[in-house]
Chains A and B, each alone.
Chain A
Amino acid sequence: MRPKLFPRNLTAQAAKLVAGNPATSRPESGTDVCTPGLEIDLRALEERFFPGLLWDFERGDGARLVGMDEEVQGLQRHECLTEDAPVFLLGLCAKMRAADKGVTFFRFDSSAGRAVWRRVRDLPKTRVAILFGVRERMTPPLGQDELLKLLRQVQETGSPVIKKSGTAFAYAAMAAPRAAYLHPDTGVIPELFAPGELTKGLCSPWQFDFRDCGCNYWAAGKPDMVQSGDPAVGPVNYGRNRTKHPHTQDSPDRGIRNDAMYTASQMVAGAWKALPPVLGDRERNTLPPPRQPAGKNLFHREEAATELAYLATVEHALVVEYLYAAYSTHDRQAAAVIQSIAIDEMRHLLWVNELLQILGYAPSTTRAAVIGADPAKAEPGCGRRRMQEADGHQPTYIHVESRLRSLTLATLDYFIDVEKNSRTLNGLYTHLYLSIDAQPEEFPENVRLTAILRLIIDEGEDHYARLATVRTHLAARPENEWLRNLQRAEEPYPPAYGAAAAWYHLLLHIISVSFRLDNGRASLLQMAKELMQDLDAAICQLQADGVEFDWPEPPAADEETLEEALPRLHGYVSRIGSPSQRLFDAANAAEALIRAGLRNGQAPLRPSAGPCRYMEVRGR
């Protein structure tokens, strides 16, 4: 039945107070708890495990009966629940697994409440018999055999046994199915639990009782400490005072961290409000608005291919930018992190080309001139469309020239900026995802396409955090301590330079060819991965001579036929001065696959709009 005063609209709902619900349960006063299980105190669920009875397990002297219905199986509340004679749960008998043939007995003469709770917690949804009573009135106490016999009898017959000592209640044994905590059809917590009952055991930061309780029911959305993604750093201190230490991402130095933390009194006074939510292992001060499926700005097939061809060139450009930066430092830790991000971007380069191949388009392995390029600034005929998001936001494109930068702090800031800027890369990937997902008739291969896009979108997430860690790591020392001092390569180029360039171009050629073949891509890509070591060796050789490798741009050859691919392959191999067995094996395998492709008469792939030229490039 509807209550007499029922709030209809949002202000009415916000204003109406419901008896029993703590203020913390209102959305506006919550702490953005988003971890399932932390919205309620699970311990509270067991307090009503036996129909009609309410138990308190949080006591040292046992599980005490603290409430009951007016009458439960013939036992009257006024007889049983009195102030002067506490009633405890003394024994339990049930099948501990639904498949068990026999029942298990537990006796709780002197067990602490938590110990009883554990047994109750383990009960499956079966019939359970319990013994409860006033300890002092059980004279003489029930022996083991008597207890077992009584509980088994109650369990089997279902008839309760109630004993008195004189006129006062002494003990009772009764059986019932263990209470269900969720409605079997809807999964909703039943009305059995009064408002506030399931949250009463939670800690609230503004009350500061979390200091005392230690039960870890801390609001997970705004933690004070979390484990960092970087194993070298240890738990990350999110409780730090940002006004005092705005730039401290984190430090393994305990002194610095303690100094950076809010004091307890500051936290009580409201500093906890400044703690940003932490999602996916990093702080987020703002959340992107929830995306809705776009209705009228979706990419059609050809536009999707054009965007993918562009994105592949961006991934390539980022690979080279990251690798150049990684090779510019002696700091191994920094170089390793930057290199690992470059490897992620390589994987993205391959995935994007796989998407192009699924759509039936030629691969895209050249290098973007502009990162986050604004389609509005593309020269005519490019085919890229400025996208408009479903929520009406016009995305901002950073539109920055791609160029090689040594690993300075400014470069790291630029990398962080690029990775943070979801409008340019992730925004575009997300828009592609939405377009493909929403238009199965336009993209019949949508299941495969969206699966790959999801991988790319998910992987982009943690680069920001990893780069931030490198920045903190390097910021403590002057740049000349970690930067290598290398000369530009100039003509006549040293032989090692020519070899490194040939390795780089060969690798790209193999990647490009692999996406033009129907068969054998996996083995070719595996070979390319192994050949990366040779490229690395060639660059290290060049650096040993004090010369940097500036990643000369490869020729555009993605739309060549397979016939044209063969001489190109041979050309690169011959330019590598000291060929290894691995190189010969790879070249032979690639040649065999290309010839097989030629024999099978593979259908040519459609050229996409190709790399675009952009006007008004902004340098950094």
Chain B
Amino acid sequence: MTTLVQIHTPQPAAHHFRFSSAQGEHVFLVDGSQIYDIGDDFAFAPPRPPMFPMVVPSPPPLHSLSLHLGQSCNLHCGYCYADGGAFGGTGGSPMDETTARKSVDLLLREAESGTVPVLGFLGGEPLLHRGLLHSTVHYAAAEAARSGKSIRFSLTTNGTLLTEEDALLFSEYDWTVQISVDGMAALHDRQRPAKNGGSSHAALLGALERMEKAGRPRALTARSTIARGWGRLPEELDYLLSLGFDDAGFSPVLAADGDGFALTRDDLARFLNEMTECGERAVAHWREGRAYPFANLQTALRQLHQGHHQPYPCGAGAGYLSASTSGRLYACHRFVNDAKRAMGSITSGPEDRRRRQFLEERHVDQQQPCGGCWARYLCGGSCHHEALRAGRHACDYIRGWLAFCLRVYVEMETPA
């Protein structure tokens, strides 16, 4: 048997990225994501130690917890990371009332005072467990009020099962409802087939109507998963926004169980072109003072303005954990039932030793080939789950997109 040893050649660390815009020459400093206008004689030597050191943090207090009420789904999307709702075939029974309540207690107990914790519902399709979802939300709101706290809720749903009763619940409390819409009807129904045959797209349009009637949730957003063979993004985005979402954005499939879903390098080049086309469309709207909530660009611009820099792509294993149906805690919803990423349980609480280990191991400075990339503290090394499963083959896309966003940022900040 031959053992393959992969040797990483250390790359020169990237400290800055120069770029041009209609405003002139600029530099993005990796240290603290600082953006400057520069002259021709610009030269850069990174300060030692860096101004914004990227240490491995201690596990922070729990801020958001997502619950897997059940692991089943009424759709069968080929690209689903949860294996079309079966979660690797483990299936299992849905979460029970006691587990849900204990999860809420854990979140309220662990959340730092003065912050507003977030209770999320993911799946599977959470609305298959309507009764439990409703009772858990009422319980959480009452418990939060009793302890003098506020709480927010979030839901990721395919929208096909949403009833008037659900819509009323979403308008009553502080909700972010995120609906998965892959585009116009034909594409959506092809990518997101219902197990019972009907049109999942028509069902979600009904859900939007019901929410409009009952009073919208605080935030109603659309997320579109882009798999191979997608339609054109600019037209898809126009369509999503025409449905009245507060914002809409795209996520490319980078790793999938089913064949022919994950984007190849060539697909990613086309994807980048269409994303920037969407971005230009947004900028044109904004210059005329009209709204065009393209979520990917809005988020990037906000983060660039704030100088967002962090060594992780998300809060997984840190302020964010996910509870499985049996009440075990995992680094995030994508790692549910992955024993290697288990992090305690709702009864024993988050296991800090394992969280710390995860944060050490997943720090972007530990990842390859991230050290040589100027975008590493913006991207954080990309989704842990996807990187572990399929490596990092979307880096050129990520850098291309961020370079576009940087240009838009400096040009928008000082209108031409």
Contacts and interface: CB of A to CB of B under 8 A. Distances in A.
A397 interface: yes
A286 interface: yes
A343 interface: no
Interface stretch (B28-36, B103-111, B203-211, B334-342): B28-36
Given A376-B172, A394-B150, A397-B145, A9 B35 contact: yes
Contact of B306 (A6, A10, A15, A376): A10
A394 B174 contact: yes
Question: Most chain-B CB neighbours within 10 Å: which of A2, A10, A376?
Answer: A10
Contacts of A6: 36-37
B185 interface: no
Interface string B358-372: 000000000000000
B37 A11 contact: no
A188 interface: no
B186 interface: no
Given A9-B409, A10-B306, A11-B52, A386 B33 contact: no
B289 interface: no
Contacts of A394: 141, 150-152, 173-174
B116 interface: yes
Contact of B37 (A5, A386, A393): A5
A388 B150 CA distance: 11
Contact of A9 (B38, B149, B172, B306): B306
Interface string A1-45: 010111111111011000000000000000000000000000000
A11 B218 contact: no
Given A8-B413, A11-B32, A392-B174, A2 B37 contact: yes
Interface string B65-95: 0000000000000000000000000000000
B116 A8 contact: no
Nearest to B413: A8
A393 B41 CA distance: 49
B257 to A, nearest CB: 37
B145 A10 contact: no
Nearest to B38: A5
Contacts, number: 75
B38 A7 contact: no
Given A392-B174, A396-B150, A12 B38 contact: no
A396 B306 contact: no
A5 B141 CA distance: 50
A296 interface: yes
Given A296-B216, A376-B172, A397-B145, A5 B39 contact: yes
A392 B152 contact: yes
B385 interface: no
A8 B148 CA distance: 40
A296 B51 CA distance: 42
A404 to B, nearest CB: 25
B216 A8 contact: no
Nearest to B147: A396
A12 B304 CA distance: 11
A7 B172 contact: no
A20 B172 CA distance: 54
Contact of B36 (A8, A14, A386): A8
B34 A9 contact: yes
A8 B218 contact: no
B172 A8 contact: no
B61 interface: no
Nearest to B27: A5
B53 interface: no
Nearest to A399: B145
A393 B150 contact: yes
A394 B307 CA distance: 29
Contacts of B145: 374, 396-397
Interface string B136-178: 0000010011001111100000000000000000001110000
B129 interface: no
A15 B37 contact: no
B408 to A, nearest CB: 12
Nearest to A376: B172
A15 B32 contact: yes
Interface residues of B, number: 37
B33 A11 contact: yes
Given A8-B410, A11-B309, A393 B34 contact: no
Given A296-B216, A392-B152, A397-B145, A4 B39 contact: yes
A349 B38 CA distance: 63
Contacts of B218: 388, 392
Contacts of B63: none
Contacts of B131: none
A6 B33 CA distance: 14
B37 A9 contact: no
A86 B38 CA distance: 44
Contacts of A396: 144-145, 148-150
A388 B172 CA distance: 9
Interface string B16-59: 00000000001001001111111101100000000110000000
Contacts of A10: 305-307
A176 B42 CA distance: 44
B118 to A, nearest CB: 11
A9 B216 contact: no
A392 B174 CA distance: 7
A418 B29 CA distance: 50
A296 B217 CA distance: 10
B95 to A, nearest CB: 24
A4 B38 contact: yes
A8 B26 contact: yes
Question: Most chain-A CB neighbours within 10 Å: which of B36, B38, B42?
Answer: B36
A421 to B, nearest CB: 9
B114 interface: yes
Interface string A388-421: 1000111011000000000000000000000000
Contact of A286 (B26, B114, B172): B114
A401 to B, nearest CB: 16
Question: Most chain-B CB neighbours within 10 Å: which of A286, A393, A394, A397?
Answer: A394
Nearest to B304: A9
Nearest to B308: A11
A6 B24 CA distance: 12
Nearest to B114: A286
A12 B116 contact: no
A5 B38 CA distance: 5
B172 A386 contact: yes
Given A286-B114, A388-B174, A394-B173, A7 B150 contact: no
A393 B116 contact: yes
Contacts of B36: 5-8, 12
Nearest to A7: B36
A397 B141 CA distance: 12
A376 B172 CA distance: 9
Contacts of A4: 38-39, 41-42
B38 A11 contact: no
A9 B114 CA distance: 28
Contacts of A2: 37
A12 B150 contact: no
A442 to B, nearest CB: 18
A396 B116 CA distance: 12
B215 to A, nearest CB: 9
A392 to B, nearest CB: 6
Contacts of B173: 394
13 contacts: A8-B35, A8-B410, A9-B304, A9-B305, A9-B307, A10-B306, A12-B35, A12-B307, A14-B307, A15-B51, A394-B141, A396-B144, A397-B145
In order of increasing CB-CB distance, the 10 nearest A-B pairs are A11-B307, A12-B34, A4-B39, A6-B37, A8-B35, A11-B32, A9-B35, A394-B174, A11-B34, A9-B307
Interface of A: 2, 4-12, 14-15, 286, 296, 374, 376, 386, 388, 392-394, 396-397
Given A8-B409, A11-B307, A14-B307, 9 more contacts: A8-B36, A8-B413, A12-B32, A392-B152, A393-B150, A394-B150, A394-B174, A396-B144, A396-B149
